[in-house]
Amino acid sequence: MIVASTLTTNLSILVLAGFIGFVVISKVPNTLHTPLMSGTNAIHGIVLLGGLLIVGLSGNGTFNKVILVIAIAFGTINVVGGFLVTDRMLEMFKSKPKQGGEDAAGKGEHDGKGTGS
């Protein structure tokens, strides 16, 4: 098995991700910038994973555990709150067909809950 250097592999991923970020984002129209900021904001809540990974490792004293629980809580707020708020913002851009549209939106909210929890 070929073992690539962890650091260089990760740096490659970093650089490529940066370019993807530039390309994907630069196409977004002005109007959607606030939802976009909110959406990307939710995505960096992925630091939550860091907390999840570390909290189970050995060598964590009580104080560390407290720190990590706070970190996990912060990360969760970032993720859950971020996606929900973005969803609320975007829901308003939907063209609303008078009757059926509201039902669909209601269902959508339930779906949102399902994926969130």
Partner 1 sequence: MNGLPLATSFLQNQSFLDVLYIIAFGLFIQGLRGLSGPTTAVRGNRIAAVGMAIAVIATLLNRNEGNWGLIALGIAIGTAVGVPAARQVKMTAMPQMVALFNGVGGGAVFLISWSEFRRYGSTYGSHFVQVNSAFSAVNFHVGGVPTYVAIFSVFAAIVGSVSFWGSNIAFGKLQEIIPGRPISFGSAQQIVNLVLLILALAAGVDLVAGAHSELLFIGMLVCAALLGNAVVLPIGGADMPVVISMLNAFTGLSAAATGIALNNPALIVAGMIVGASGSILTNLMATAMNRSIPAIVAGGFGGGGAVEGASGAGEHAGTVRSTTAADAAIQLAYANRVVIVPGYGMAVAQAQHAVRELTKELEKRQVEVSYAIHPVAGRMPGHMNVLLAEADVPYDQLKEMDDANPEFGRTDVSLVIGANDVTNPAAKNNPSSPIYGMPILEVSNSHSVIVIKRSMNPGFAGIENELYYEPETTMLFGDAKAAVSEITAELAQL
Q: Hey, which residues between 37 and 96 contact partner 1 (CB under 8 A)?
A: 37-61, 63-65, 67-96
99 is a contact residue toward partner 1 (CB under 8 A): no
Q: Which residue, 63 or 99, is less far from partner 1 as judged by CB?
A: 63
21 is a contact residue toward partner 1 (CB under 8 A): yes
State how far the alpha carbon of 30 is from the alpha carbons of 7, 33, 45, 105, in Å: 37, 5, 24, 25
- Could you tell me the smallest distance in angstroms from the CB atom of residue 15 to partner 1? 8
31 is a contact residue toward partner 1 (CB under 8 A): yes
2 is a contact residue toward partner 1 (CB under 8 A): no
101 is a contact residue toward partner 1 (CB under 8 A): no
- Could you tell me the smallest distance in angstroms from the CB atom of residue 72 to partner 1? 3
How many C-beta atoms surround the C-beta of residue 21 within 10 A?
A: 11
* Cα R_g (the chain), whole angstroms: 19
* Distance in angstroms (rounded) separating the CA atoms of residues 70 and 54: 13
Torsion region of 59: left, alpha or beta (phi above 0 gives left; psi -120 to 50 gives alpha): left
